[in-house]
A = this chain, B = another copy of it.
């Protein structure tokens, strides 16, 4: 049930349409909290029904912008401070790593190299955003400060995974004979 709070949080920055929110979810949140537009529109409808958001304006092309209400804002804040954090991490790459012993050495090296490349690239993207932010490119609003903190987590996580994939390539294959 975090999509709900994700939407409320984004709307706390200012009014936005489902389309805007979907774009933000794919651009900014793509790698940490994916969400598709059908779910976003549906959830916005529910939130409006519960009075947590309201239609701010209707624009061209049937565009409907939503604004967060007082109770919506209270709800995000309640979630942030009172609801337990869900630390679930469902990482397929790590699940796969448990089964590396089933792969032959060549496939494994290829796999790890590809993974390392993938993570390095992402880490680099986040690093560039962070550099731009630190140069002042995006101003110093509280919102961008928080985004900067999130980006830092992205940098550290993806760097850690990239380093791990590099390291894993250096782990010698097992010696089944000694077991």
Which chain A residues have a beta carbon within 8 Å of chain B's beta carbons?
A: 2, 5-6, 9-10, 12, 28-29, 31-34, 73, 76-77, 80-81, 85-103, 107, 111, 115, 118, 139-150, 152-154, 156-157, 159-161, 163-164, 167-168, 171, 173-176, 178-179
Asked if B142 and A98 make an inter-chain contact with CB atoms under 8 angstroms apart, the answer reads no
Residues of B within 8 A of A77 (CB): 102-103
Bound complex: CA A168 to CA B173 (Å): 39
Q: Which of B97, B115, B159, B179 contacts A150 (CB 8 A)?
A: B97
Asked if A164 and B152 make an inter-chain contact with CB atoms under 8 angstroms apart, the answer reads yes
Asked if A99 and B152 make an inter-chain contact with CB atoms under 8 angstroms apart, the answer reads no
Q: Which of A159, A173, A176 has the most CB of B within 10 A?
A: A176
Asked if A97 and B149 make an inter-chain contact with CB atoms under 8 angstroms apart, the answer reads yes
Residues of B within 8 A of A99 (CB): 5, 9, 12, 76, 80, 146
Bound complex: CA A141 to CA B33 (Å): 37
Asked if B168 and A164 make an inter-chain contact with CB atoms under 8 angstroms apart, the answer reads no
